[in-house]
Amino acid sequence: MESNQMNWKEKDQWGLKEFIFLMLLEFVFVIGGIKFIVHPIYLSWFENDLYAGTFLGLTMAVILVLGVYFIAIRPKKLSWSEVGIKPFAKKDWKIIIIYSVILMVGAVLIVVLTSLIGNTYENSKTEAMQQNVTFFSLLIAFISAAVISPLYEEIFYRGFLYRWLRTRIGLNGAILLSSLIFTVIHIPTYNAMPVNFFSGIIFALAYERTDSIWPSVIIHGLTNGIMVLLTGLA
């Protein structure tokens, strides 16, 4: 697989079948089934949107990561490195720091600008956390946003989706389309969609520049974690 790892931006081992199956898994099974059918069940169990949302995220993480494995990796006898799970160079820490700062500053600017047309940063999760701010609730929110979400979302949306698009429609098209899909799947948190789109661009660029999804996982987790802490303190 050495040649493949050398030119992953131009070639992959998958076809249209893997793409369709994984998109169906995401948009039909996860969004259509888990988010809108299972989530209300979790909510009735926990009676708290933060805990229900965290358990929902964990469920989605397991399903999507297993989906990538059983649909894209195992049938082709590939390794996890094919979706970017591989070491990155020490020099790439510079990219991580710079992109993290760009994302944080950009997110603040987007929130400020969209607030001029009536947008807010609050959603059901932030409201649930702010209603009962304890060390445990803050820890749960932090784990959900800074650990669980970055891991499975980067494997799925950058490791597979961005790479699949990158080899077929090029750099700009792959960045924009993967970021758009990444934004759409965050519905119904409509107020966060502009920031999600910008985040998707940053994460894709990090993967593009470093050849590993770990930098985007770190950037994703760092910025999400800071936002959770700021929301809790607010």
Which DSSP string corresponds to 34-86?
IIIIIHHHHHHHHS-HHHHHHHHHHHHHHHHHHHIIIIIITTTT--GGGGT-S
Between CA 41 and CA 37 the distance in angstroms is 7
pLDDT digits (tens, 9 = 90+) for 164-181: 999 999 999 999 999 999
Between CA 23 and CA 28 the distance in angstroms is 8
pLDDT digits (tens, 9 = 90+) for 184-218: 988 767 678 899 999 999 999 999 999 999 999 99
pLDDT digits (tens, 9 = 90+) for 131-157: 666 778 788 889 989 999 999 999 999
Q: Provide the residue type at 179 as one letter.
A: S
Q: Quick count: other Cβ atoms within 10 Å of Cβ 27?
A: 13
